[in-house]
Amino acid sequence: MGRSRNIINSMIESLKLHIGDPLFLYERYRIPPSEIEGRQDVKKGRIAMYELDERVNTRVDASRANLSDQRYGIDISVPRGYAKSDASRGELPLLDIRDKILDWAAQVDAGGVTNNGIFTFGYESSGGITRETKYVTTTLVFSALRDLQPSQTNI
């Protein structure tokens, strides 16, 4: 398997253990919130982690890319309440999961979890909450220092 795949797989498994709720669906790709609406396999919610943009920040030798700033997105979707219901079914449970993910990000040993595929993992920003017919969704953005020369760290 490729290094990028290993990073995503190991980080989402670590997050899954931290959340500790088997009714959540954990995926490794982004889909627009509107596409979640028709799915039948999302029970309590969906958490998805995927790569965003990457920028090389350190070059060595003949300008070989050595380290990069890699950004990751984590989407959170939970079922929302029906018409005339308040945020207690939808937005507030989504915020609870958001806080659990931020707690995980603050304490996760990214280097240990990914076998030094990434060295750091930190919260960067979030988008607003999107309310669709069945689900509410938000995206959290994280940044990581990624090793592009795995031969140096024995990945």
- List the beta bridge partners of residue 56: 68
- CA–CA dist 6, 22 (Å, integer): 22
Average pLDDT, 10 consecutive residues per value, the chain (155 residues): 90 97 95 90 94 81 78 95 69 94 97 93 94 92 88 52
- CA–CA dist 78, 131 (Å, integer): 10
pTM of the complete model = 0.89
- Give the pLDDT of residue 151: 65
- CA–CA dist 80, 103 (Å, integer): 23
Q: What domains does the chain contain, in order, with CATH numbers?
A: 3-152 (3.30.2000.10)
- Give the pLDDT of residue 152: 55
- Give the pLDDT of residue 154: 47
Rg (CA), the chain: 17
Q: Locate 39 and state its tokens.
A: 């799915």
Residues 6+ apart with CB under 8 A from 99: none
- Give the pLDDT of residue 20: 94
